Amino acid sequence: MTEAATLNRLSGQTRDTDLTRKAAAMTQTLRSRATEAETLRRLPDESIKDLGEAGLFKMMLPKRVGGHQASLHQLQVMLNSCVLFQRTFHNQIT
């Protein structure tokens, strides 16, 4: 592997880690809005805005169209985080 290819790969890993960090940082905020989300039966506008500002909606979009082009591994990590969040929230209200 060339040095440039290695740097590109490592850069992608850093970006993936950054997305994970941003998602993890939002957990408490999203959790605090859970009652409002249940009442609205959708995500509150503030949550949608926060997710967009964190770049999570652009996670799987190709770089050529302004996305992050995250890896499939990163998608799996994010989906697992969502499942764990859902289970945690469900356990708190039942």
Query: Token digits for 29?
Result: 């905020």
Dihedral sign computed on CA atoms, order 48, 44, 50, 8? negative
Query: Token digits for 49?
Result: 């805005």
pLDDT band, very low/low/confident/very high, at 36 (cuts 50, 70, 90): very high
Query: Token digits for 15?
Result: 């970006």
Residue partners of 9: CB distance under 8 A and separation at least 6? 1
Q: Could you tell me the pTM of the whole model?
A: 0.62
> Would you say residue 85 has pLDDT above 60?
no
